[in-house]
């Protein structure tokens, strides 16, 4: 396939410049020479010629035949010889391909119209159109390789998806929320694209987040090019695949887009950033949200970025633009940026009325260059297809769409109970016995701290699995490799990742920008393509720039795609207080927001041995895991352990009875385990027997162990380091009251921090965070019942 493409390109290398030839006789006749037309300016030139326009045409046609009804033969009016004579006028495309491009454009518009009709009939529940964007998207699909390249589109990209091989039927399944919908099986809004067979991972409604995913997907291929053994781990690794990512002009204001551009240009990743600029972000015009009103000028300072502007309503100009961008990326020269000016003939969505903020003359001006109109005129003027031919094609498409709509309306929606499917992996269960080698584990060597045993686990797992990559802020030993032999190296601010880069190389262990969303967002793209990212957020207090990615992308990807897309990863995070001097922004221990997020597992070990076994399980798990490492526990003497074997695993959802007792149960985790243990020893002297349970994992948690203990002691306290109100402990307390009420001899009591942040002064911190005395006092009060 690649050889055929090269032969086609070489046959056409008669011109040594990148100028697009003039297309004569219609509204498509605009000159777009990079030398003469400022709107088609190429700010970073690629080497070589444009090629003959037949980029992977055979593959596209094979895909199209499987999903598109055959076109009437008499639609194509010109002979092959006549088309060949004008080949350069048509950007190297033959007549059949030009008519097929029109079919894609028209089909996209008519599906929009059908959905609008169905919405008016209350047969679908949401509609957002790709009207006005069709020409550039049909061109992009033609210039790229379906099921070979990777695509992270946005909701206007209907014509792209049709061009790649998605059918009208599949789109209308999505509109009605049918389970057969390949985008999400009825879970996502329509036009939120996802198609496993076409390399289109599930997309969300969060504009711009997919920019980092696209970078991560391209980076997976880049890392594999540096580590040959990694290549068979990468889903769809070809060595020259390109990643497409599109957004609207409004989304260019999102910070994650700029973070994505930074990394893509820094690593010269093969990502095509596409901005479909229709002039409005809902009702906000581009000059209000973009300084200077021209995004391509703002990004002109990025190195290794091939920047082009094109008339996105002109299909042939768009195709030439995309051919150059794809060639630049496929040759691994860097990232590309396509700024396509398009129109928006319909309102933002059916919830919007653009007549409220757009004058009629502006809307009429856009209508004059609507590609649905101008491309048909081009085909007729050039004699490629007659008016009658196109009318026949339109009737065929209309009939197909009407039939598809009738079928979709009568197709079942998902069964209600299917909502519980694919929250977590159905294939890998980290709570199972397969992940339990704890009993009778042999330990050896000198005792190590939690830092030591986490570090050992990461070394062993990276040795076992070449797909593991480790990155974050300051996690590498030394980014400038020439100094590695003479310097000790950093290895993280707490030294947890020490010597990983030295052992496994900079392709697998590397520093990130100081940007938490960048870390997690890139990890999503890598995980989608088969890598296992183990990333570090330097302090829990700074995780919140990444919370958007964690909550709206990482945790929900498997569920919203009903299992078609997954992004397993481990997010390691130092957490907690009791360090003295940590203050507001180095002492937080919040878990509630994350525990309230379906699809995310949470681990919180209290000692070195547990940290080792639980981290190994987290890495081998097939779901995203938030792995919380309490900073105060990193180097404590009391929680040290000898080293287990490289197959030591602790299952999730298996609590540990730290101390058995008969009078009261304390359910806790993290740093409160030791404080509760000390309180229990004091209470024992007074004849109070405390049973202490360390949850170890918060999602899932071991309800059976809790229930068994409460039934025995009939009194329970839930203790945690977070503020007491609205916290994780409230869930445990509420469930005990709900399901174990008849076993209780006293109210369920909670111990936690004050409803404040953590202060800097040691005396202030001691007052805010729960201490041994607070636990002891709560137990004594409970024993009065």
Question: Whole-angstrom Cα distance, residue 379 to residue 362?
Answer: 26
- Tracing tokens 């998902």 back to the chain, one arrives at 414
- Tracing tokens 């009207």 back to the chain, one arrives at 131
Residue 634 φ/ψ, nearest 5 degrees: -55, -40
**Which position among 548, 586, 632, 720 bears the catalytic label?**
586
Helix (H) or strand (E) holding 777: helix 772-782
CB atoms within 10 A of CB 673: 27
Asked if residue 490 lies in contact with residue 451, where contact means CB atoms within 8 angstroms, the answer is no
Distance of CA 138 to the CA centre of its chain: 25
Question: Whole-angstrom Cα distance, residue 713 to residue 662?
Answer: 5
Asked if residue 554 lies in contact with residue 594, where contact means CB atoms within 8 angstroms, the answer is no
- Cα R_g (the chain), whole angstroms: 30
Task: Dig out the tokens for 628 from the structure.
Answer: 């919380």
Question: Whole-angstrom Cα distance, residue 55 to residue 89?
Answer: 17
DSSP state string for 488-519: ----STTSTTTTHHHHH-TTTEEE--S-HHHH
Distance of CA 420 to the CA centre of its chain: 21
Nearest to 323 by CA among 157, 92, 100: 92
Question: Whole-angstrom Cα distance, residue 424 to residue 401?
Answer: 36
Nearest to 465 by CA among 431, 508, 432, 524: 508
Nearest to 305 by CA among 276, 338, 330: 338
For the chain, how are helix, strand and coil distributed in percent, rounded to 5? 45, 15, 45
Helix (H) or strand (E) holding 659: strand 656-659
Annotation says 348 is catalytic: no
Catalytic residues: 586
């Amino acid at each position: 396939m690649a050889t055929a493409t090269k032969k086609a390109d070489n046959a056409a290398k008669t011109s040594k410049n990148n100028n697009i030839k003039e297309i004569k006789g219609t509204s498509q006749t605009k000159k777009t020479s990079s030398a003469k037309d400022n709107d088609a300016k190429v700010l970073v030139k690629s080497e070589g010629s444009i090629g003959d326009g037949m980029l992977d045409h055979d593959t596209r046609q094979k895909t199209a035949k499987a999903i598109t009804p055959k076109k009437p033969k008499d639609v194509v009016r010109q002979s092959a010889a006549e088309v060949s004579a004008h080949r350069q006028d048509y950007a190297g495309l033959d007549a059949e391909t030009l008519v097929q491009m029109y079919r894609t454009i028209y089909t996209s518009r008519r599906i929009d119209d059908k959905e609008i009709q169905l919405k008016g009939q209350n047969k679908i529940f949401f509609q957002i159109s790709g009207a006005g964007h069709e020409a550039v998207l049909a061109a992009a699909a033609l210039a790229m390789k379906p099921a070979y390249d990777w695509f992270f589109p946005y909701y206007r990209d209907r014509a792209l998806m049709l061009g790649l091989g998605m059918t009208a039927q599949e789109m209308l399944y999505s509109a009605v929320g049918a389970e057969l919908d390949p985008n999400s099986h009825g879970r996502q809004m329509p036009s939120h694209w996802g198609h496993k067979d076409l390399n289109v991972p599930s997309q969300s409604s969060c504009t711009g987040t997919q920019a980092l995913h696209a970078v991560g997907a391209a980076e997976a291929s880049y890392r594999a090019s540096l580590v040959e053994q990694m290549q068979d781990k990468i889903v769809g690794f070809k060595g020259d695949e390109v990643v497409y990512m599109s957004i609207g002009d409004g989304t260019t204001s999102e910070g994650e887009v700029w973070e994505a551009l930074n990394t893509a240009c820094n690593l010269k990743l093969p990502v095509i950033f596409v901005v479909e600029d229709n002039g409005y972000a809902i009702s906000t015009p581009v000059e209000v949200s973009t300084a200077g009103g021209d995004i391509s000028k703002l990004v002109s300072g990025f190195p290794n970025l091939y920047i082009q502007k094109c008339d996105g309503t002109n299909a042939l100009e768009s195709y030439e633009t995309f051919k150059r961008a794809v060639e630049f990326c496929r040759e691994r020269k860097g990232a590309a940026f396509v700024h396509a000016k398009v129109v928006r003939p319909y309102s933002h969505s059916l919830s919007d009325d653009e007549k409220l903020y757009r004058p009629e003359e502006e809307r009429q001006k856009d209508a004059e260059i609507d590609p649905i109109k101008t491309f048909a005129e081009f085909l007729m003027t050039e004699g490629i297809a007659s008016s009658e031919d196109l009318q026949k094609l339109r009737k065929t498409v209309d009939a197909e769409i009407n039939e598809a709509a009738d079928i979709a309306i009568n197709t079942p929606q998902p069964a209600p109970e299917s909502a519980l499917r694919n929250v977590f992996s159905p294939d890998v269960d980290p709570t199972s016995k397969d992940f339990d080698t704890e009993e009778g584990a042999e330990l050896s060597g000198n005792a190590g701290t939690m830092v030591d045993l986490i570090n050992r686990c990461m070394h062993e797992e990276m040795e076992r699995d070449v797909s593991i990559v480790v990155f974050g802020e300051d996690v590498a030993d030394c980014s400038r490799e020439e100094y590695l032999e003479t310097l000790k190296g950093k290895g993280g601010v707490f030294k947890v990742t020490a010597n990983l880069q030295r052992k496994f190389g900079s392709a697998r262990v590397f520093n990130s920008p100081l940007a938490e969303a960048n870390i997690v967002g890139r990890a999503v793209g890598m995980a989608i393509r088969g890598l296992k990212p183990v990333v570090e957020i330097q302090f829990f207090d700074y995780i919140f720039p990444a919370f958007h990615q964690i909550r709206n992308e990482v945790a929900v990807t498997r569920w919203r795609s009903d299992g078609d897309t997954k992004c397993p990863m481990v997010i390691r995070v130092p957490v907690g207080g009791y360090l003295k001097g940590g203050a507001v922004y180095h002492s937080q221990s919040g878990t509630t927001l994350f525990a309230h997020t379906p699809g995310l597992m949470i681990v919180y070990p209290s000692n070195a041995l547990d940290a080792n076994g639980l981290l190994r399980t987290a890495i081998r798990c097939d779901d995203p895991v938030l792995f919380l490492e309490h900073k105060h526990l990193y180097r404590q003497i009391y929680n040290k352990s000898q080293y287990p074997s490289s197959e030591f695993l602790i299952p999730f959802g298996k609590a540990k009875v730290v101390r058995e007792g008969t009078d009261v149960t304390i359910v806790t985790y993290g740093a409160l385990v030791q404080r509760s243990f000390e309180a229990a020893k004091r209470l024992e002297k007074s004849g109070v027997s405390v049973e202490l349970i360390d949850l170890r994992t918060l999602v899932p948690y071991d309800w059976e162990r809790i229930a068994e203990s409460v039934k025995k002691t009939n009194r329970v306290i839930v203790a945690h380091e977070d503020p007491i109100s609205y916290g994780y402990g409230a869930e445990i307390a509420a469930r005990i009251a709900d399901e174990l009420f008849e076993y209780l001899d006293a109210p369920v009591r909670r111990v936690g921090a004050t409803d404040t942040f953590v202060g800097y002064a040691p005396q202030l911190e001691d007052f805010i965070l729960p201490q041994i005395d607070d636990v002891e006092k709560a137990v004594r009060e409970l024993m009065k019942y």
